[in-house]
A and B are shown apart, each in its own frame.
Chain A
């Protein structure tokens, strides 16, 4: 069954007809073209599909779009305030060589944005815990942690 949902996605109000069985990942990718939202496991275990739902990181693969009705969603595509201007988290990932294959990157950046938005500083161990819902097979997380430390400042 198709249901109409209203969401605020990357700064824009959208009205969409979606299938009730549709995951938020599928809606964002297939209906809105937001392909930064990756599918790595579709079980909430890898974090590649992480988006911010009302500012909180959520695995969009196991979240139904109909539940997002009336909510605010942010993906990597919504981070650039001006064309060509990267969000500080994105810039830190670039500067610290925290990107390799890039498949886990958008999800990790969204968790990074959530961390940065908290306005707090964290120890490296705390950062490890905060990103522990993301699997990365290329980087050993080392440069990702370096990038996040750069953004949020060392505690």
Chain B
């Protein structure tokens, strides 16, 4: 038995927003795989839960007319993993979705929840960051859009007014995925049922002759108070040739931008080592998919 005062099930985004406004301190819940743990741990008491799991408009993956990929916030990781659209256009996201928790968790846990709980280890986030994704957030005054980059403001904290706003859609703009190739590398101590000790996604576009980097994005999780983009390194390596020196520069650059801390789960030393190593591995993998070769 959980310490729940009241549960609601919204059938539309507007109803969810109305329920949020009517119920002070209410918590939005979808798959529940995070909120239920907070309840179990007694971090959340006498909860009022507004379930958004039955809101059809929050579900599913579609390609918009302009070619953008729109992922409903209520889409489960299993659905993302199986989606033809995702596998075709942003396969690294399908791979990342399959790294979350366990098969049972992936059947209910949603991408929106993974983003909104602000976890620094969220498996869904690095790839989306590397694809320069945007978020559509519904509020009383309509929909606002913001980049995923910058949405995380601290450990467990996001730029969302929990009392009046709802994340509805994650958008991967066509311009940000077309011609790009990405890879995600998660490091966990176990090979399943694991939160990332560190995760890294690399997304790149090669020059027409496939000899140099045209565009590069690197996102790292659990290496700072929020998932982060290594923008200085990205900028420095734009136009760089596909050489071992570039990889060395990538490792060095990532290392200079991450700020992991010592925790009982892993030392700063290990996380620094992982940051440089995973960024190289993700880079090499993305490069391979892109058809590039280190010379």
Contacts and interface: CB of A to CB of B under 8 A. Distances in A.
Interface of A: 1, 3, 19-23, 26, 42-45, 47, 50, 53, 56-59, 62-64, 66-67, 111, 129-135
B104 A20 contact: no
A133 B1 contact: no
B1 A26 contact: yes
B1 to A, nearest CB: 5
B4 A21 contact: yes
B101 A133 contact: yes
A152 B127 CA distance: 33
Interface in B142-191: 191
Contact of A45 (B51, B78, B193): B193
A67 B51 contact: yes
B51 A44 contact: no
A129 B192 contact: yes
Interface string B35-60: 01100100000000101010000000
B85 interface: no
A31 to B, nearest CB: 12
Contacts of A131: 103
Interface of B: 1-7, 9, 32-33, 36-37, 40, 49, 51, 53, 78, 101-105, 107-108, 191-193
Nearest to A133: B102
Given A62-B36, A132-B193, A1 B104 contact: no
A132 B107 contact: no
A133 B103 contact: yes
Nearest to B1: A21
Contact of B53 (A1, A50, A57, A67): A67
A19 B5 CA distance: 10
A43 B37 contact: yes
Contact of A133 (B36, B40, B51, B105): B105
A57 B6 contact: no
B6 A47 contact: no
B2 to A, nearest CB: 4
Given A1-B6, A44-B101, A134-B102, 9 more contacts: A43-B40, A57-B104, A59-B105, A62-B32, A63-B108, A64-B32, A132-B192, A133-B103, A133-B192
Contact of A44 (B6, B53, B105): B105
A111 B106 CA distance: 13
A43 B1 CA distance: 13
Contacts of B7: 3, 20, 64, 66
Q: Which of A1, A44, A50, A63 has the most CB of B within 10 A?
A: A44
Contacts of B6: 1, 20
A62 B101 CA distance: 14
A23 B40 CA distance: 11
A3 B51 CA distance: 15
A89 B104 CA distance: 18
Contacts of B104: 44, 47, 50, 57-59, 111, 133
A125 B250 CA distance: 33
Nearest to B37: A43
A143 to B, nearest CB: 19
A141 to B, nearest CB: 11
A134 B101 CA distance: 11
Q: Which of B7, B40, B78, B102 has the most CB of A within 10 A?
A: B102
A24 to B, nearest CB: 11
Nearest to A59: B104
B103 A21 contact: no
A96 to B, nearest CB: 21
Contacts of A134: 102
A59 B36 CA distance: 11
B117 to A, nearest CB: 14
B2 A135 contact: no
